[in-house]
Chain A
Amino acid sequence: MKILSVENLSRSFGGIKANDNISFEVEQGSILGIIGPNGAGKSTLFDLITGYTKADKGKVKFFEKNIFGLSPDKISNLGVGRTFQKLKPFADQTLLENVMIGAFVKEQNIKKARDKALEIIDFVDLIEKRHHFAKELSTGQRKRLEMARAMAIEPKLLLMDEVTGGVDQKTIPGLVELIKKLKKTGVTIITIEHNINIIMEISDNVLALDQGKRIAFGPPKEIQKNKQVIDAYLGTFDAA
């Protein structure tokens, strides 16, 4: 079953086409990896889907429901969670409080919301840090915080922007394992990732973007061989 279908989504900033007629579909329970060089329009695509940026045209359907043009809070309320490339923790609140704010979406009782938040914090392996203020956590821990907070709204679809970006090499395997563990809970995941090896390892499908355009879409093995993708990443020797 399709959980998300995006059709001809476009957005220009001035004369630059950040997203140019992007179309793709995501199967429920799968992981879609989005790759592309810097400035390819990956984060813009996330912002368009989640309503943070208004698209110029196109269609976005979430379970057959048109969510194009809805505000971010309404879209998240339908069950679309997200994390941010530039991390946005509630800095002056503890980790537990951060996740509780997400848990309040589905759980009205404060004590129950707290317990639910603790379970999620345990799931992301940060239970010992629960009373630390978000600003005291390391980048890797804050990435987990954002994942935990997004999970707390019980999303059906989770969009994660560069989970492994900006963290040291030692931290990466743990975060990758966490994404795999997340998938097992049944949530559908779209993840932006610069690390090609990780994308190939975890994704069911890969969407490759370059200069705002979709250049390839398909299973990781096909994408790996795709000439356009290789060119976009490695550059061409075309003298023209």
Chain B
Amino acid sequence: MESKLIAAKSEPLWNTNNKVISIVCGLVILLFALPLFGLNSFYLHLFIMIFMHAVMAQSWNVIAGFSGQISLGHGAFFGIGAYATSFFYMQYGITPWISIFFGMFISAIFAVLIGIPMLRLSGHYFAIATLLIGISFQVVFQRWDLVGAASGLWVTMTPEDSWIALQFHSSKVPYYYVFLIFFLITFFVVWLLSRSKLGYKLRAVRDDPQAALSLCINVSNYKIIAYVISAMIMAPMGSLFAQYILIIDPDRVFNIEISIIVLLITVLGGIGNVWGPIIGASILIPISEYSRIYLGGTGGAVDLIFYGLILMIICIFRPNGLISFIPKDILERKKQR
């Protein structure tokens, strides 16, 4: 018996699979090199949307997948991020590089304010409450003159490409790299989170809040922490999206569709898994963009039908998402028997 304990203690804390590490490194290098092959602007746009939605889905994954709270109003934080950079740039000339942090900070404050009362609700009630909060943000911004009300904000364009103003008119390549770097940073941070004590405790809260309480875990506080982290991941994507399209309005950045698509991507890829949102975004976003091209204006509705079908198939056959197709021994939490 004693020798088994010694053997168990000598196991590494984490299984490192060199094959996975080399595949991931190869993919990262490939992503950095892609624009050098002269991708046209459609493909650049496609990748930018994949990166952006993967991060947005990752944000949702932190609150829903790690701590088990289904939020249906996550678009609110996206909108806050979008408005923060645009507003501070237009009013005070503050560079988006700084106001991205304002957006994160404001989102974090709202996450605390919303989280303290709402996270006492559980399950469906929290989902419904966040849905209404998401919609109420849109309603407020539609009527708020300071931020352009329903017509939104038209970000003052710089005459030339500018890294300080984070505006590029001649090519999408700089946007590609900005989104790519945010994408990589986010995934690294969430990957670290999933391995940290906080990650363990959040999963405990998700799996059984009552049992978590018996292990000195203040369940409400940890839910709020997860909500704040999640909001702070979402906001920068709103900021970057605003810089990317340069015209934002409440219908676009506080759209309920944003809250829904992050859910779809995560569920498709694999909820509660760091890799899930990447896989989900890599599949759903091309479907959405291609259907829009080939089906024109009506494509918007057709991709929703696709989403619905995919979601049904996943829920019935692969409730753990597409990530569950990857053999268990490759995943990090494999069982060593």
Residues of A within 8 A of B (CB): 50, 52, 71-73, 76-77, 81-82, 84, 88-94, 97, 100-102, 104-105, 108, 110-111, 113-115, 118-119, 122, 125, 127-128, 130-133, 149-150, 152-153
Query: When the two chains form their complex, are residues A77 and B1 in contact, meaning their CB atoms are under 8 A apart?
Result: no
State the 7 A-B residue pairs at the shortest beta-carbon distance, nearest first.
A90-B207, A88-B211, A72-B213, A77-B216, A131-B335, A122-B5, A88-B208
**B204: interface (CB < 8 Å):** yes
Contacting B213 at CB < 8 Å: which of A52, A90, A97, A111? A52
Query: When the two chains form their complex, are residues B208 and A105 in contact, meaning their CB atoms are under 8 A apart?
Result: no
Query: When the two chains form their complex, are residues B4 and A127 in contact, meaning their CB atoms are under 8 A apart?
Result: yes
Digit string of B202-219 for contact with A (CB within 8 Å is 1, else 0)?
Answer: 011001101111111111
Contacting A76 at CB < 8 Å: which of B4, B204, B213? B213
**B201: interface (CB < 8 Å):** yes
Interface residues on B, range: 20 to 34
Q: Which residues of B contact A72 (CB under 8 A)?
A: 210, 213-214
Query: When the two chains form their complex, are residues B215 and A50 in contact, meaning their CB atoms are under 8 A apart?
Result: no
Query: When the two chains form their complex, are residues B207 and A93 in contact, meaning their CB atoms are under 8 A apart?
Result: yes
Contacting residues of chain B (1-56) with chain A, CB-CB under 8 angstroms: 1, 4-5, 8-9, 13
Decide: A104 near B201, CB < 8 A? Known: A94-B333, A118-B8, A127-B8.
yes
**B200: interface (CB < 8 Å):** yes
Query: When the two chains form their complex, are residues B4 and A149 in contact, meaning their CB atoms are under 8 A apart?
Result: no
Decide: A73 near B216, CB < 8 A? Known: A111-B13, A122-B5.
yes
Digit string of B191-205 for contact with A (CB within 8 Å is 1, else 0)?
Answer: 000011100110110
Contacting B200 at CB < 8 Å: which of A97, A111, A119? A97
Q: How far is the CA of A108 from the CA of B216 in the complex (A)?
A: 14
Q: How far is the CA of A111 from the CA of B214 in the complex (A)?
A: 22
Query: When the two chains form their complex, are residues B335 and A118 in contact, meaning their CB atoms are under 8 A apart?
Result: no
Query: When the two chains form their complex, are residues B5 and A119 in contact, meaning their CB atoms are under 8 A apart?
Result: yes
Q: Which residues of B contact A108 (CB under 8 A)?
A: 197
The CB with the most chain A CB atoms within 10 A, among B5, B214, B218, B219, is that of: B214
Contacting B207 at CB < 8 Å: which of A52, A92, A114? A92
Q: Could you list 13 examples of A-B contacts with CB < 8 Å?
A: A71-B213, A71-B218, A89-B208, A89-B211, A90-B203, A90-B204, A91-B208, A92-B272, A104-B197, A104-B200, A128-B4, A131-B334, A131-B337
Digit string of B297-337 for contact with A (CB within 8 Å is 1, else 0)?
Answer: 00000000000000000000000000000000000011111
Q: Which residues of A contact B201 (CB under 8 A)?
A: 101, 104
Q: Which residues of B contact A153 (CB under 8 A)?
A: 215-216
Q: Which residues of A contact B8 (CB under 8 A)?
A: 118, 122, 127, 130
Query: When the two chains form their complex, are residues B336 and A131 in contact, meaning their CB atoms are under 8 A apart?
Result: yes
Query: When the two chains form their complex, are residues B5 and A118 in contact, meaning their CB atoms are under 8 A apart?
Result: yes
Q: How far is the CA of A81 from the CA of B211 in the complex (A)?
A: 10
Smallest Cβ-Cβ distance to B215: which chain A residue: A102
Query: When the two chains form their complex, are residues B215 and A52 in contact, meaning their CB atoms are under 8 A apart?
Result: no
Q: How far is the CA of A114 from the CA of B8 in the complex (A)?
A: 10
Q: How far is the CA of A89 from the CA of B208 in the complex (A)?
A: 7
Contacting B217 at CB < 8 Å: which of A73, A84, A122? A73
Query: When the two chains form their complex, are residues B211 and A122 in contact, meaning their CB atoms are under 8 A apart?
Result: no
Given pairs A73-B217, A88-B211, 8 additional interface contacts (CB within 8 A)? A84-B211, A94-B335, A97-B200, A102-B215, A127-B1, A131-B334, A149-B211, A152-B215
- Nearest CB on A from B56, distance (A): 24
Q: Which residues of A contact B1 (CB under 8 A)?
A: 122, 125, 127
Query: When the two chains form their complex, are residues A84 and B213 in contact, meaning their CB atoms are under 8 A apart?
Result: no
Q: How far is the CA of A219 from the CA of B302 in the complex (A)?
A: 74
Q: How far is the CA of A133 from the CA of B217 in the complex (A)?
A: 21
- Nearest CB on A from B208, distance (A): 5
Decide: A118 near B9, CB < 8 A? Known: A108-B197, A131-B336.
yes
Query: When the two chains form their complex, are residues B216 and A76 in contact, meaning their CB atoms are under 8 A apart?
Result: yes
Q: How far is the CA of A50 from the CA of B9 in the complex (A)?
A: 33
Q: Which residues of A contact B5 (CB under 8 A)?
A: 118-119, 122, 127
- Nearest CB on B from A93, distance (A): 6
Q: How far is the CA of A115 from the CA of B214 in the complex (A)?
A: 21
Q: Which residues of B contact A152 (CB under 8 A)?
A: 215
Query: When the two chains form their complex, are residues A105 and B215 in contact, meaning their CB atoms are under 8 A apart?
Result: yes
Q: How far is the CA of A125 from the CA of B2 in the complex (A)?
A: 11
Q: How far is the CA of A236 from the CA of B204 in the complex (A)?
A: 47
Smallest Cβ-Cβ distance to A127: which chain B residue: B4
Smallest Cβ-Cβ distance to A114: which chain B residue: B13
Q: How far is the CA of A41 from the CA of B337 in the complex (A)?
A: 42
Q: How far is the CA of A113 from the CA of B214 in the complex (A)?
A: 17
Q: Which residues of A contact B195 (CB under 8 A)?
A: 110
Smallest Cβ-Cβ distance to A133: which chain B residue: B335
- Nearest CB on B from A195, distance (A): 24
Q: Which residues of A contact B218 (CB under 8 A)?
A: 71, 73
Query: When the two chains form their complex, are residues A76 and B215 in contact, meaning their CB atoms are under 8 A apart?
Result: yes
